[in-house]
Amino acid sequence: MKIVDFRKLKNSFEFSPICLSMGFFDGVHIGHQKLISDVCFYAKKINGFSAILTYYNHPKSILEPNNIPPLLMTFQEKMNFISSLGVDFAFVSEFDEEFASISAEKFVKDILIDKLNVKYVCIGKNHRFGQNGLGTVETIKQFGIEVKSLDLCSVLGENVSSSNIRQAIENGDIELAKKMLGRN
């Protein structure tokens, strides 16, 4: 997997079409793994390239600096695991105030379309992006990108999320955390 700082790209990304999932992917839990599996499958189907878009730092480090969660994985651990899932490219960047202020529409047009040549996106139904989290699945569809949105996964009646995995670990419920992560 090749790691590319997408904000430093001067021209349009040279590989196309890109099939993408985006998020922070802390822990790369079973929900993240489903998104990535879908992106890899679809990329093969259309002779494209699979990719994820993520950040070096947790968005809360900018948006809620007094509420930064402990991370489940280091950045390098996350990249290694995502690479093992067969992803071609990881588009990464620092999440900073400038990036947080980009409108959802500008994010889709300037980054997903103009910089990265994205043709397909697979994200969770609850995924939000852009300034104030106003971007949704519908925002992406408005620009003609094919979008697949997946429902949240659940394990033992609990929604799978990085926050719920952290809570399970805090509560000493390592079995639940392992099931949500899909591994030890």
pLDDT digits 0-9 by tens, 62-84: 999 999 999 999 999 999 999 99
Backbone angles phi, psi at 76, to 5 degrees: -65, -40
Whole-structure pTM value? 0.94
Assess contact for 135 and 107: CB atoms under 8 A.
yes
The answer as to CATH 3.20.20.120 being correct for domain 2-151 is: no
Give residue limits of the domains in the chain: 2-151, 154-184
Question: Can you tell me the distance from the alpha carbon of 116 to that of 126, in angstroms, rounded to the nearest whole number?
Answer: 23
The one-letter code for the residue type at 184 is N
**pLDDT tens per residue across span 130-151:** 999 999 999 999 999 999 999 9
- Whether 92 contacts 126, CB under 8 Å: no
Tokens describing residue 95: 């999440």
CA distance 142 to 63: 26
CA 128 from centre of chain:
11
Q: What CA–CA distances, in Å, run from 52 to 64, 116, 125, 159?
A: 24, 11, 17, 22
pLDDT surpassing 90 at residue 31: yes
Place of tokens 């695991």: 81
Residue 97 — φ and ψ, nearest 5°? -60, -40
Mean pLDDT of the chain: 96
Q: Which helix (H) or strand (E) holds 148?
A: strand 146-150
* pLDDT range class, residue 162, cuts 50, 70, 90: very high
Q: What is the pLDDT of residue 10?
A: 87
Amino acid (one-letter) located at 27: G
Q: Where do we find the tokens 């509420």? A: 67
